[in-house]
Amino acid sequence: GKVLVTGANGFIAIWIVKKLLEQGYSVRGTIRSESKGKHLKEVFKGYGSKLEIVVVEDITKVRVCTDYRRVYSRSDAIGASTRSNIPHHPPTSARTIRTTLITPAVQGTTGILRSALQHGASVKRVVITSSTAAVLTQDPNPRVFSEDNWNERSIGEVETKGREAAPFDKYRASKTLAERAAWNFVEENKGSIGFDLVVLNPPFVYGPILHAVDSVENLNASMQDWWAAVSGKKDNKFLATVGSSWIDVRDLAHAHVLAIQKEAAGGNRIIVSEGPYKWQDWELAIAVNAAHAAEPKLPAGNSSYEPAKAVHYIRYDVARAKKLLGLEYISIQQSAKDVVENFKEKKWIA
Ligand code: NDP
């Protein structure tokens, strides 16, 4: 079969492309400008014509529909993955929140679905990379979230506070509204669409870098956080008390492939998460690996941290991912080891 991957040059998307090619799929990847295709072609040159790269400059603009015809023809499944709207400098006015964050997120998602409806007669399934940002709400007490939960609070924060809303609420509102728009689109067009929808909701995604990144400063947002925490830029209190939940990028890519393959996954949003962490857990994972390799090159962090006593306020029930996808997870030790090796190869770690 043939799979379309949008934003194919991104941190997550390039791993999806890799997993698909490894499993024998043909892949059509979209990028926003010609130059972004060079690295992709280089990485996957062994696959020859199995990988096709097309330029779609602005996925939210209807005028690129003729391009979409090309994009979607003969695609059996599409992984409409990978557009991110995390701005490095979050917008400040209410109007820029709407124009730079919410509208592109929603229109990007519905634009892809509309295009698949209009031009993708052979498309059987669409997989969208949402986020646990569309699931969680910050609570004072520890809580377990499932796919039944929707992040209404961030939408309310942005609606009432506008520019004063916290940057994370702006991002979370955009993800929640984009995912909701996708489900609404499928519901409204159920009489005429030939595909079903799977939405994956990952928490923070970490792991080795396969996409084009020239320096550690230009990593994608989640890996910038990872690097800041493990390279000694954060204090002991931060390391022991701040964290979230995570999944390795390779598992998330695998989940996208499974989401295409598993018939029963259709119509579901699915949380995919290895589990919660505090940043010191990454320090410990790195230390364990460094001890084995006898070359501790990164700071050890907070030596009084006790993992068993850490309080994780947000946890996820991942039973659905287990049942529908059979997804297994790479451990924090393995992930840490692989990222450190990857960063050493890139000479980002001496
Ligand atoms: P990256 O920044 O590495 O990749 C983002 C991709 O989206 C790039 O291909 C980028 O193209 C493209 N893109 C950005 N803006 C637009 C736009 N307006 N129109 C079309 N394409 C656009 O991000 P990640 O791989 O980390 O994230 C991918 C997706 O996963 C996002 O939807 C994100 O919200 C979601 N996600 C990520 C998490 C994480 O921790 N990384 C956690 C949970 C969800 P270009 O290179 O041309 O800018």
Q: From the CA of 7, how far away is ligand 1's center (Å)?
A: 7
Q: Which ipTM did the prediction report?
A: 0.98
Ligand 1 surroundings by CB, under 6 angstroms: 7, 9-13, 32, 36, 59, 82-85, 104, 108, 129, 131, 175, 202, 204-205, 220, 222
What distance in Å separates the CA atoms of residue 343 and residue 350, rounded to the nearest whole number? Answer: 9
Q: From the CA of 302, how far away is ligand 1's center (Å)?
A: 32
350 residues of the chain, pLDDT tens digit each: 899 999 999 999 999 999 999 999 999 999 999 999 999 999 999 999 999 999 988 765 543 344 444 445 445 555 544 444 444 444 456 566 666 667 778 888 888 898 888 888 889 999 999 999 999 998 889 999 999 999 999 999 988 888 888 989 989 999 999 999 999 999 999 999 999 999 999 999 999 999 999 999 999 999 999 999 999 899 999 999 999 999 999 999 999 999 999 999 999 999 999 999 999 999 999 988 887 775 556 888 888 999 999 999 999 999 999 999 999 999 999 999 999 999 999 999 87
CB atoms within 10 A of CB 103: 15
Judged by DSSP in three states, 162 sits in: helix
Q: Name the residue with tokens 């569309």.
A: 134
Query: CB of 325 within 8 A of CB of 273?
Result: no
What distance in Å separates the CA atoms of residue 100 and residue 91, rounded to the nearest whole number? Answer: 7
Class of the 2-210+245-274+316-327 domain? alpha beta
pTM above 0.95, yes or no: no
Token readout for 2 is: 């043939």
For atom 1 of ligand 1, the residue with the nearest CA is 10
Ligand 1 mutation target, pool 16, 33, 82, 115, most atoms within 8 A of CB: 82
Q: From the CA of 10, how far away is ligand 1's center (Å)?
A: 6
Q: Name the residue with tokens 């790479």.
A: 330
